[in-house]
Amino acid sequence: MSKLKAVYIISWHTIGDDTASELASRLQTHPVSALYLEGGKISNAGTEVLVRTAFRNMSLSAFCIESSEISDVGAKTVAEAVRNCRSLTTFYLGGWEISDSGAKTVAEAVKGCPLSAFYLRGDKISDAGAIVVAEMVKDYTLSAFSIRSTMISDAGAIAVAEAVKDCPLSVLSLWSTLISDAGAIAVAKAVKDCTLSAFRIYGDAITDAGVTTVMEILSSGCTNTLSALCLGNSCISDLGIKKVVDAVISYPRLSAFYLDSKPISGETLAYILERMAGINTILSVNLVVGDISKEQMGSCLDRLQQSGIGKQLKLRFECGSDHAKIVCTEFAAEWNGKFPEFRIIPYVNYLFFKEMMIGVLR
């Protein structure tokens, strides 16, 4: 019998039903206690094949699958399998076509499992679905919780905040384009006294005022434990971004800073990197850059390297224009040749926060 305990496979562009089927075949003779599979081409049918095999192991503790093609049909298949497996401590389901119906089915299925981590993504989940999930969460003392959709508004965010306020959370992620200042502030208030290691809030309607308040709330509570901070919205200005950076430089354990915003200017990039140079623990910075010259970027990074924190740092850019992409790509090749221990990557690592979730499994 195999001694393998866990399988982690992530390849969004290449994994589909063939891989799911092959993995299912191997699991028949090599059962594992934890399975994480992410592939953008896995369908409801592929999900069913994999689930039938994976859940034969009644001691399965972690089941995680995500694909753009999984819908409520796939969610129902997973839910039916979960009802017969009461050992799950980590549940992670992502399907871009999942709606309120799928969310409700899953929330009902996991009741009774000894959950410590719960992740659900469904781009068609509305406030109604979020509220159902929130009610389920109230029965648990979760250490990690994440829900993502494009249709959850402040009402859903506030319901989630109420549900998790008594959980000993170490990881929290709430992502929806409809969330505004009210929802973000409610969530921050709910978790400020937790021993959070990772916090992510995304909402396209969050303004400078809202993000400033969020940072003030977090700074009054969990600054000593927070190692990863992820903020995303398209309304925050460069001034608001600077205020966020001014706040996080006082976080003694911050190792990762992920800002998913509208493209920042060269001047703001310089400001961020100069301030980050004062954080000895920083390992990963993710930013969205707009039009910036090679000279501007070179000057910014030279100062950062001279500060002494260049070792181990991974700096990732999402490019807001074709010109920025060219500059970042060319500069990455040149810089990485000079300083191989200081990596410049011309794209954002979208798995960044998921790595924090996976860490809960280990």
List the pLDDT tens digit at each of the 362 positions of the chain: 445 577 777 666 678 999 899 989 988 888 888 888 888 889 999 999 999 888 887 789 999 899 999 999 999 999 999 998 889 999 999 999 999 999 999 999 999 999 999 999 999 999 999 999 999 999 999 999 999 999 999 999 999 999 999 999 999 999 998 999 999 999 999 999 999 999 999 998 999 999 999 999 999 999 899 998 988 877 889 999 999 999 998 899 988 888 877 888 888 888 888 888 777 788 778 888 877 777 887 787 777 677 665 555 677 777 766 777 777 777 777 767 766 655 666 654 444 445 544 444 44
Q: Cβ atoms within 10 A of the Cβ of 223, count? A: 18
**CATH architecture of the region 1-115:** Alpha-Beta Horseshoe (3.80)
Q: What is the largest CA-CA distance in the chain?
A: 60
C-beta separation of 179 from 203 below 8 A:
yes
Sign, CA dihedral 137-202-353-68, equals: positive
Angle at 20 between CA 16 and CA 25, to 5 degrees: 150
**Rg over CA atoms, the chain:** 21
Give residue limits of the domains in the chain.
1-115
**Nearest-CA neighbor of 148 among 127, 128, 117, 125?**
125
How many CB atoms sit inside 10 A of residue 193's CB? 11
- Predicted structure pTM score: 0.87
